[in-house]
């Protein structure tokens, strides 16, 4: 199954939103995730992931807070054509 760039971005956004809502009081867990060349988790706990989906949003998608994810969602809704690998 081939993923399109927009589908990859939307998948990452959905995952980030799900993770953001679980920050509450749970212990930090880490599982290595690789979806190369689009996403690679940090090498150690606390390291930022490497995201390569769209140059305009990569840093925001790598951020750990929900505010950054919401900013990406708004940006994609305004200009979905910017989502390219």
H helical segments located in the chain: 5-21, 58-62, 66-78
Residue 64 corresponds to which tokens in the numbers above? 């750990």
| pLDDT of 22 above 60 | no
What pLDDT shows up at residue 70? Answer: 92
| Residue 2: how many other CB atoms lie within 10 Å | 4
- In which region does residue 46 sit, left (phi positive, over 0), alpha (psi from -120 to 50) or beta (all else)? left
| pLDDT of 1 above 60 | no
Distance CA 82, CA 5 (A): 10
pTM higher than the cut 0.85: no
Q: Give the model confidence (pLDDT) of 27-77 as tens digits.
A: 656 677 777 788 888 888 788 888 887 888 889 988 878 899 899 899 988
DSSP 37: T
């Amino acid at each position: 199954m081939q993923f399109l760039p927009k589908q990859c971005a939307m998948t990452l956004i959905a995952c980030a939103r799900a993770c953001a809502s679980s920050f509450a009081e749970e212990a930090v867990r880490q599982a290595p995730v690789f979806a190369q060349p689009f996403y690679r988790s940090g090498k150690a706990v606390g390291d930022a992931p490497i995201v390569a989906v769209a140059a305009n949003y990569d840093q925001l998608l790598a951020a750990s807070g929900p505010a950054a994810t919401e900013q990406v969602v708004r940006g994609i809704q305004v200009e979905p054509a910017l989502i390219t690998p």
